[in-house]
Amino acid sequence: MRGEREGTGVREERCTDTTTITTVAVVGAGMSGLIAARELRREGVDVLVLESADRPGGRMMAETSVLGSRLDLGGQWVGHGHHRFASLATELGAELFPMRTPKRPGFVDGPRRLPPMSPTVLAANAVLLAWELRAKRPAPAKWTGRTVDTWLRKVPGRQTRRLLDVLVSVTTTADLDRYSMDAFTEAVRHHGGLTAMLSTSGGAQEKLIAEGAGTLTERLAADLGERVLTGRRVTSIHHDDDGVTLRTTADTVRAVRAIVTVPPPMSARIAYDPPLPPHRTMLQQHTYMGSVYKAIAVYERPFWRQQRKRHAEFILLGHPGGAVFDTTPPGGPGHLCVLVAGAEARELDSTDTAGRHRALLGQLVPHLGPRVLAPADWHEKSWHLDEHAGGGYAALATPGTTDGYLPMPSQPVGPLHWAGTETANEHAGYVEGAIESGERVAREVLRSLRHTAL
Ligand SMILES: Cc1cc2nc3c(=O)[nH]c(=O)nc-3n(C[C@H](O)[C@H](O)[C@H](O)COP(=O)(O)OP(=O)(O)OC[C@H]3O[C@@H](n4cnc5c(N)ncnc54)[C@H](O)[C@@H]3O)c2cc1C
């Protein structure tokens, strides 16, 4: 089959052997890859999306509970100002709702709930404020190599250190002994402050999607139909004056342009010929994926809303430490979302589902009662064990390096273009950033195709 693609001057042909020819090959069917493909299709460009996993969505993934509710094991919150994400949800017919949240979460250490005016909470707030202010100015040069963990060790008070440790881990998914103070304050600056990162209402955890945020990537992929090929891990990318050849675990694809949307540490698994320029190789070598475990416990009803405190938002200071949110959809069964990050997320891998269930929900018994131990359903995922995503929420810079600061670079290398949430100018690391980068790269590729066609 041969034909000229409208508006691009680029010829499309399909061979009968195992080489498929397209105009643009997109590596990765996460939010950024699907948005890029959708935008290019809208301009009449022939696109193929190659996805290594057996499902599209990448770091977004919705499941259905035994009670019929939809829940997210990957990205879910629509943060304040995440207007692209909110518009996409509305466009795809999904329902946005504000997360139910108390004035402040309960800080719980075993059976104890720390009063908001306790020395621990006040001291932690003072450190958070100091970081917030510090992030407004360039960090001292020595902070590039100084880890958050080293810095925290100087904070007086075991419980204050623990509280800060859990908050920073759950917010970034970094191993704090592998995350520099400079990278952290850069991230804070990029995201418009710590308050914005940590807050529910008015911050990054403001709204949810009743059908599950993962439904959006499912719908985008369904609309693209056969243009999304799953089970196709791209193993090598060769480019020359005539275009790009991508070898996958199943076949070969020839394209005029390729868009790589996989985060830099995962992109390092692809063999590039000719080799990538040093700045991209460094970026791959100097970044790693965060470690995060996420679980959703599903109950017939959000029973905690009838209790004295009427909420179930907690920061757990026990072991493992983590955060708990009430993500119950409107009129639906009760959903408790549990997040554990960094090294403590990986520690959970050595126990079984029942052990993780006990270790996490067990910490809530003194605060919500024994009913919390008997959910109707339990969904969980350790993202750092996902061989395709590699981890989450996002790629992080290793201490002593600055290549992986946000936004990560995306200048094209010949016919290779780069996207993915890490490259976004705004809200990098979030779904909003993934959408922004997908739209940006589609415009970039269109411009370059039109330039070639002239
Ligand atoms: C547990 C968790 C909670 C999160 N919570 C939130 C939240 O509440 N709100 C929010 O905004 N964001 C959240 N995020 C972040 C958000 O999910 C991501 O920013 C976003 O989904 C990233 O999209 P992406 O397209 O850039 O990358 P990905 O989704 O990672 O897409 C890249 C794709 O490339 C594929 N791939 C990798 N290697 C290859 C290869 N060699 N060949 C072919 N395909 C390949 C991967 O399988 C993947 O599908 C969360 C993430 C996680 C993991």
Ligand 1: does its nearest atom lie under 6 Å from the Cβ of 34?
no
Ligand 1 atom with minimal separation from the 388 CA: 47
Ligand 1 atom with minimal separation from the 431 CA: 11
CA distance 98 to 415: 42
Ligand 1: does its nearest atom lie under 6 Å from the Cβ of 76?
yes
Integer-rounded Cα Rg, in Å, for the chain is 23
Q: Which pair of tokens denotes residue 411? A: 């200048």
Ligand 1: does its nearest atom lie under 6 Å from the Cβ of 77?
yes
Tell me the average pLDDT across 85-100: 97
pLDDT for residue 271: 98
For residues 443 and 257, is the Cβ–Cβ distance under 8 A? no
150-161 pLDDT tens trace: 999 999 999 999
Domain layout of the chain by residue ranges: 5-57+215-286+408-453, 102-199+291-391
> Has this prediction a pTM greater than 0.85?
yes
10-28 pLDDT tens trace: 334 444 458 999 999 999 9
**30 Cα: distance to centroid of ligand 1 (angstroms):** 6
For residues 357 and 143, is the Cβ–Cβ distance under 8 A? no
More confident residue, 49 or 136: 49
- In three-state form (DSSP H/G/I as H, E/B as E, the rest C), the secondary structure along 4-72 is ECCCCCCEEEECCCCEEECCEEEECCEHHHHHHHHHHHHCCCCEEEECCCCCCECCCCEEECCCCCEEE
**156 Cα: distance to centroid of ligand 1 (angstroms):** 37
Closest residue by Cα to residue 262 from 49, 109, 13: 49
Q: Which pair of tokens denotes residue 81? A: 């100002």
Ligand 1 atom with minimal separation from the 434 CA: 26
Which CATH number applies to 102-199+291-391? 3.90.660.10
**Cross-strand bridge partners of residue 227:** none
For residues 71 and 212, is the Cβ–Cβ distance under 8 A? yes
Ligand 1 atom with minimal separation from the 433 CA: 19
Q: What average pLDDT does the structure give for the chain?
A: 94
Ligand 1: does its nearest atom lie under 6 Å from the Cβ of 220?
no
Tell me the average pLDDT across 96-105: 94
Element (H, E) at 326: strand 322-326
Mutate to test the pocket of ligand 1, among 262, 293, 426 (most ligand atoms within 8 A of CB): 262
User: Is the CATH number of domain 5-57+215-286+408-453 3.50.50.60?
Assistant: yes
Task: List, in sequence order, the alpha helices (H) in 43-180.
Answer: 83-91, 119-134, 148-152, 158-172
**387 Cα: distance to centroid of ligand 1 (angstroms):** 12
**374 Cα: distance to centroid of ligand 1 (angstroms):** 31
Residue nearest to atom 41 of ligand 1 (CA): 234
Ligand 1: does its nearest atom lie under 6 Å from the Cβ of 259?
no
**390 Cα: distance to centroid of ligand 1 (angstroms):** 9
Ligand 1 atom with minimal separation from the 235 CA: 41
Backbone φ and ψ of 300, nearest 5°: -50, -45
Residue nearest to atom 19 of ligand 1 (CA): 430
Ligand 1: does its nearest atom lie under 6 Å from the Cβ of 323?
no
In this structure, of 6-10, 107-111, 238-242, 268-272, the range with the lowest mean pLDDT score is: 6-10
pLDDT for residue 454: 63
pLDDT for residue 110: 94
404 CB burial (10 A radius; 0-12, 13-18, 19+): buried
232-243 pLDDT tens trace: 999 999 999 899
Ligand 1: does its nearest atom lie under 6 Å from the Cβ of 233?
yes
